[in-house]
A and B are shown apart, each in its own frame.
Chain A
Amino acid sequence: MDCIKKKVNEELERGWIGCNRDCEYNPCHFKGQDCTFCYCPFYPCGDTDLGNNITGRRGNDIWSCTDCLFIHRTDVCRHICSEVERLGITEAGDPRFKDIFRDVKERFWRRGRALMVVGATSDAGKSLMVTALCRILLRRGYLVAPFKSQNMSLNSRVTMYGCEIAMIQELQARAAGLTNPDAHMNPILLKPKGDTVSQVMVLGQPYGDYDVEHYYSDFVPGPGREIVAENIDFLKKRYDFVVMEGAGSPAEINIYDVDIANMRAAEIADADVVLVVNVEWGGSFAYALGTVELMPECDRKRVKGIILNNLRGNPANIMPGVREIEERLGIPVLGIVPHTRLDLPGEDSQSLRGLRTKGDGRAVVGVIRYPRIANFTDLDPLLLEDVTLRFVQTPEELEGVDAVVLPGTKNTVVDYLWMRETGLADAVAALRGRVPVMGICGGYQMMGRVLDDSLGIEGGEPRVLDGIGLFDNRTVFGEYSKRITQDSGHMAIGDGGEVTGYELHMGVTETSEKPLFRIDGFVAREAWDEGSVREDEMLFGTYLHGVFDRPSFRRHFLSLVRCEGGSAVREEPRDYVQSIEENLDKLADAVEQSLDMDALMGILGVGQ
Chain B
Amino acid sequence: MKVLVLGTSSGAGKTTFTAMMCRYLSTHGHDPAPFKGSNLSLNSYATADGGEIGMGQAFQAWACGSEPVTDMNPVLLKPSGNGRIQLVLNGRPHSDISRESPMDKALVLRTVHEAFDRLSAEHDIVVCEGSGSPVELNLMERDVANTGLMRELSVPAVIVGDIERGGVFAAIYGTWRLMPEELRPLLKGFVINRFRGDASILGPGIERIEELTGMRCLGVLGYEFLRFPEEDSLSVSDGRFEGDDPLQAYLDNLDEMVSHAEGSGFDFEGFLEIARG
Mark out the residues of chain B between 196 and 244 whose CB falls within 8 Å of any chain A CB in the assembled complex: 196-198, 201-206, 208-209, 234-238
Tell me whether A290 and B136 are in contact (CB under 8 A).
no
CB neighbours of B208 from chain A (8 A) = 253
B 1-30 binary contact with A (CB < 8 Å = 1; else 0) = 000000111111000000000000000000
Q: Does B170 contact A (CB under 8 A)?
A: yes
Tell me whether A121 and B167 are in contact (CB under 8 A).
yes
CB neighbours of A325 from chain B (8 A) = 137
Tell me whether B173 and A293 are in contact (CB under 8 A).
yes
Known A283-B9, A285-B137, A321-B138; contact A254-B204, beta-carbon cutoff 8 A: yes
The answer, among A253, A281, A289, for a CB contact under 8 Å with B9, is A281
Q: Does B153 contact A (CB under 8 A)?
A: no
Q: Does B171 contact A (CB under 8 A)?
A: yes
CB neighbours of B198 from chain A (8 A) = 196, 212-213
Tell me whether A254 and B203 are in contact (CB under 8 A).
yes
B 162-175 binary contact with A (CB < 8 Å = 1; else 0) = 00011111111111
The answer, among B169, B175, B236, for a CB contact under 8 Å with A283, is B175
- How far is A195 from B197 in the complex, measured between Cα atoms in Å? 6
Supplied contacts A283-B171, A289-B178, 14 more A-B pairs, CB within 8 Å? A195-B196, A248-B166, A249-B170, A251-B170, A254-B206, A283-B8, A283-B10, A284-B9, A285-B136, A286-B178, A287-B171, A290-B175, A321-B136, A321-B138
Greatest chain A CB density within 10 A among B136, B174, B201, B234 is at B174
CB neighbours of A542 from chain B (8 A) = none
Least distance between B50 CB and chain A CB atoms (Å): 32
CB neighbours of B167 from chain A (8 A) = 119-122, 248-249, 251-252, 287, 290-291
The answer, among B9, B135, B174, B205, for a CB contact under 8 Å with A254, is B205
Least distance between A267 CB and chain B CB atoms (Å): 19
Mark out the residues of chain A between 280 and 335 whose CB falls within 8 Å of any chain B CB in the assembled complex: 281-291, 293-294, 317-321, 324-325
CB neighbours of A223 from chain B (8 A) = none
Known A290-B173, A290-B175; contact A283-B135, beta-carbon cutoff 8 A: yes
CB neighbours of B205 from chain A (8 A) = 252-255
- How far is A291 from B204 in the complex, measured between Cα atoms in Å? 16
CB neighbours of A123 from chain B (8 A) = 165
- How far is A288 from B137 in the complex, measured between Cα atoms in Å? 12
- Chain A residues within 8 Å of B, Cβ to Cβ: 119-123, 195-196, 212-213, 248-249, 251-255, 281-291, 293-294, 317-321, 324-325, 353-355
Tell me whether B133 and A282 are in contact (CB under 8 A).
yes
CB neighbours of B174 from chain A (8 A) = 283, 285-291, 293
Q: Does B185 contact A (CB under 8 A)?
A: no
Least distance between B268 CB and chain A CB atoms (Å): 24
Size category of the B interface is: 35 or more
Tell me whether A354 and B236 are in contact (CB under 8 A).
yes
- How far is A325 from B132 in the complex, measured between Cα atoms in Å? 18
Identify the closest chain B residue to A278 (Cβ).
B165
Identify the closest chain A residue to B170 (Cβ).
A290
Q: Does B110 contact A (CB under 8 A)?
A: no
Tell me whether B136 and A282 are in contact (CB under 8 A).
yes
Tell me whether B166 and A290 are in contact (CB under 8 A).
no
- How far is A324 from B139 in the complex, measured between Cα atoms in Å? 13
B 138-170 binary contact with A (CB < 8 Å = 1; else 0) = 100000000000000000000000000111111
CB neighbours of B234 from chain A (8 A) = 281
* Number of residue pairs spanning A and B whose beta carbons lie under 8 angstroms apart: 133
Q: Does B123 contact A (CB under 8 A)?
A: no
Q: Does B177 contact A (CB under 8 A)?
A: yes
CB neighbours of A196 from chain B (8 A) = 197-198
- How far is A442 from B163 in the complex, measured between Cα atoms in Å? 31
Tell me whether B170 and A291 are in contact (CB under 8 A).
yes
- How far is A255 from B198 in the complex, measured between Cα atoms in Å? 14
Identify the closest chain A residue to B200 (Cβ).
A213
CB neighbours of A249 from chain B (8 A) = 166-170
The answer, among A213, A252, A289, for a CB contact under 8 Å with B166, is A252
Identify the closest chain B residue to A316 (Cβ).
B138
CB neighbours of A119 from chain B (8 A) = 167
Tell me whether B166 and A253 are in contact (CB under 8 A).
no
Least distance between A258 CB and chain B CB atoms (Å): 11
- How far is A130 from B73 in the complex, measured between Cα atoms in Å? 44
Known A253-B205, A289-B178; contact A320-B169, beta-carbon cutoff 8 A: no
CB neighbours of B170 from chain A (8 A) = 120, 249, 251, 286-287, 290-291, 294
Tell me whether A121 and B204 are in contact (CB under 8 A).
no
The answer, among A254, A281, A289, for a CB contact under 8 Å with B169, is A254
Tell me whether B201 and A212 are in contact (CB under 8 A).
yes
- How far is A317 from B137 in the complex, measured between Cα atoms in Å? 11
- How far is A252 from B167 in the complex, measured between Cα atoms in Å? 6
The answer, among B12, B169, B204, for a CB contact under 8 Å with A290, is B169
CB neighbours of A283 from chain B (8 A) = 7-10, 12, 132-133, 135-136, 171, 174-175
Identify the closest chain A residue to B171 (Cβ).
A287
CB neighbours of A318 from chain B (8 A) = 138
CB neighbours of B12 from chain A (8 A) = 283
Identify the closest chain A residue to B8 (Cβ).
A283
Tell me whether B138 and A320 are in contact (CB under 8 A).
yes
Least distance between B82 CB and chain A CB atoms (Å): 14
Least distance between A484 CB and chain B CB atoms (Å): 28
- How far is A285 from B173 in the complex, measured between Cα atoms in Å? 11
Least distance between A548 CB and chain B CB atoms (Å): 26
